[in-house]
C-alpha cells in the first residue's frame, strides 16, 4: 500500500512524543512515513516536503513542533492537504503553552487541526478518521476501536458496582 500519512517533526528529540501517532496508524493498517523537517533550520526542505506531499500520495500530514512551533502552520500554508498539529512540550518551552498557542492560533484561511499537548496518539486517530471518511476498511477499524473503548469503560463501571461503589445513574 502507498504511504498515506506523513509524520514530521522539528527535531529528532520530538520522536518519543510523535511515535504514538505512528503506532496508531500501524494498528489501523495505514502506511506512513516519519522524518525531521524543521521550519527554522531546514525551511527549504519544509517547503519542498509540503509542495510534493500530495503528488507523493500523502492524504494527511501530522506535524509536531515545540517552542515557537511554526512547522504545522507553515506546512498548512503551503499544502491543501489536512495538517494536524501536535504541540510538543520541549526543553525551551513555556510549559508547552507557547507550542499550543502557536499551532492553535492560525489565521482564518490556514487551518491546522490541533490536538492536546504531546497527544500524537490523537493525531494518529484523527488522521485515520480523515482517511476512513473515504476508505471503508479503515472506517470499520476505527468503529471497532471506538466500540472496544466503550466496552472497556462499561467493564470498569461493572467492576465498580461489584466492589459496592454507589452508583444511582445505572440503577
> 61-117, pLDDT tens digit by residue?
999 999 889 999 999 999 999 999 999 998 877 888 999 999 999 999 999 999 999
Q: What is the mean pLDDT of residues 124-149?
A: 98
Q: What is the mean pLDDT of residues 128-147?
A: 98
Name the CA radius of gyration of the chain, rounded: 18
14 marked as binding residue: yes
Query: What is the model's pLDDT at position 140?
Result: 98
Task: Please choose, from the candidates 126, 104, 105, 132, the residue with its C-alpha nearest in 3D space to the C-alpha of residue 117.
Answer: 104
> 33-70, pLDDT tens digit by residue?
999 999 999 999 999 999 999 999 999 999 999 988 99
Query: What is the model's pLDDT at position 1?
Result: 66
Across 69-104, b (16+ Cβ under 10 Å) vs e yields bbbbbbbbbbbebbbbbbbbbbeebeebebbbebbb
159 marked as binding residue: no
> 109-135, pLDDT tens digit by residue?
999 999 999 999 999 999 999 999 999
Domains in the chain: ranges and CATH? 5-135 (3.40.50.1970)
93: which DSSP letter?
S
171 marked as binding residue: no
- Answer yes or no: is pLDDT of 170 > 80: no
Amino acid at each position: 500500500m502507498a504511504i498515506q500519512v506523513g509524520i514530521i517533526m522539528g527535531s529528532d528529540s520530538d520522536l518519543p512524543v510523535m511515535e504514538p501517532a505512528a503506532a496508531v496508524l500501524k494498528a489501523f493498517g495505514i502506511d506512513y512515513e516519519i522524518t525531521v523537517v524543521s521550519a527554522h533550520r531546514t525551511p527549504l526542505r519544509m517547503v519542498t516536503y509540503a509542495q510534493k506531499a500530495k503528488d507523493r500520495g500523502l492524504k494527511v500530514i501530522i506535524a509536531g513542533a515545540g517552542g515557537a512551533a511554526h512547522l504545522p502552520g507553515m506546512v498548512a500554508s503551503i499544502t491543501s492537504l489536512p495538517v494536524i498539529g501536535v504541540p510538543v512540550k520541549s526543553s525551551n518551552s513555556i510549559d508547552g503553552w507557547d507550542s499550543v498557542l502557536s499551532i492553535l492560533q492560525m489565521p482564518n484561511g490556514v487551518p491546522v487541526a490541533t490536538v492536546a499537548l504531546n497527544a500524537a496518539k490523537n493525531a494518529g486517530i484523527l488522521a485515520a478518521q480523515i482517511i476512513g471518511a473515504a476508505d471503508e476498511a479503515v472506517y470499520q477499524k476505527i468503529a471497532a476501536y471506538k466500540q472496544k473503548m466503550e466496552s472497556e469503560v462499561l467493564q470498569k463501571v461493572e467492576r465498580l458496582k461489584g466492589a459496592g461503589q454507589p452508583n444511582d445513574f445505572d440503577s
